[in-house]
Amino acid sequence: MRIGMQISYAGGFAESVDEIVELERNGLDIVYVPEVYTFDAVSQLGFLAARTERVEIASGIIPFYSRTPALIAMTAAGLDYVSGGRFTLGLGASGPQVVEGFHGVPYDAPLGRTREVVEICRKVWRRERLEHDGRHYRIPLPADRGTGLGKPLKLVNQPVRERIPVMLAAIGPKNVALAAEIAEAWEPVFFHPERAGEVWGDALARGRAKRDPALGELDVVVGVPLAIGEDAGPLLEYVRPYVALYVGGMGARGKNFYHQLACRYGYEREADLIQDLYLDGRKEEAAAAVPDDLLRSISLVGPAGYVKERLAAFAEAGATTLHVTPLAADREGRLAAIRSLRELAG
């Protein structure tokens, strides 16, 4: 099982990169750089590529609504070039709150747009003359065709790889099926090993039935808070506000995908309560309403023996890469957590 880690988007990026350089020597396999309404991920990924030698780098994720498909492809090819073929393109639709509320772009047809963006990216990486006549993207624009202005172009540079790995973040059944069909990797959120099969199993099976064998096995990238030790249990309290933010505050009622996921896990009453409290501005109460069982199930927090058992549960549920967030107060604590996890994961 591979071990990855996300760089915080809240600040201290330069210090985090110094830490990643050290973690690279201690068994870290991949590092993810998120992008919400923060600094962009791309500039930070370029800096990471320059500072590291072995560890893979990935966007985790960039919302495709904020860039044209061709620009996404160019950016991915550039990051793959400066990293010597170590880049994974993490893509996702994000949600209406970020796409419409921050970027001012209509949040429409996420499923269809995802498929077309990936198709266009792969054409660019193969250096084909770019022509695409889809429902959501048309290249060249119809008005330019036949005028000489719409002559199909191909990427000037030769990419390091003509197939850069694509990771799709998805939690809805149709989006998960699409990820299993067309992507090298799939990133769910709040992955509950004991309930993942019930929630996502059918969607994954539908997608895999259509999957091109050339893509290889689907890499299932699971995000987990991490703390290993006999006295680690209380650190789960730091996870509560994060879960409450997503289940309660990432979207209006009826438009919050994370709330819907909690309901599909069987926490309908609790999810509704968290959302009501959060949207009423009672954030601390919303965090307190997050079920303990849910927190424990989506985390790797506890004594080493317990964490090893949970690792087995994640592996049995299909996880192949752990995207961890060490719940440690300092660099030494985070380094120790990654070392311990590497030993337990084998």
Selection from 169, 182, 176 nearest residue 120 by Cα: 182
Mean pLDDT of 176-189: 97
Structural domains in the chain plus CATH codes: 2-235+299-345 (3.20.20.30), 240-297 (no CATH)
CA 188 to chain centre: 7
pLDDT in tens, 44-63: 999 999 999 999 999 999 99
Residue whose structure tokens are 């201290």 = 12
Give the per-residue pLDDT at 190.
96
Give how far the C-alpha of residue 258 lies from the chain's centroid of Cα atoms, to the nearest Å.
14
Which pLDDT score, from 0 to 100, does residue 255 have?
A: 85
What average pLDDT does this structure show over 9-29?
87
**Spatial contact of 164 and 76, defined as CB atoms under 8 Å apart:** yes
pLDDT bin (cut points 50, 70, 90) of residue 141 is confident
* Chain segment 227-262, per-residue pLDDT in tens: 999 999 999 999 999 999 999 998 889 889 999 999
DSSP structural state of residue 266: T
Question: In the prediction, which pLDDT does 80 show?
Answer: 98
For the segment 217-221, the average pLDDT, to the nearest whole number, is: 98
Give yes or no for residue 147 having a pLDDT over 90.
no
The pLDDT of residue 148 = 65
CA distance 259 to 281: 17
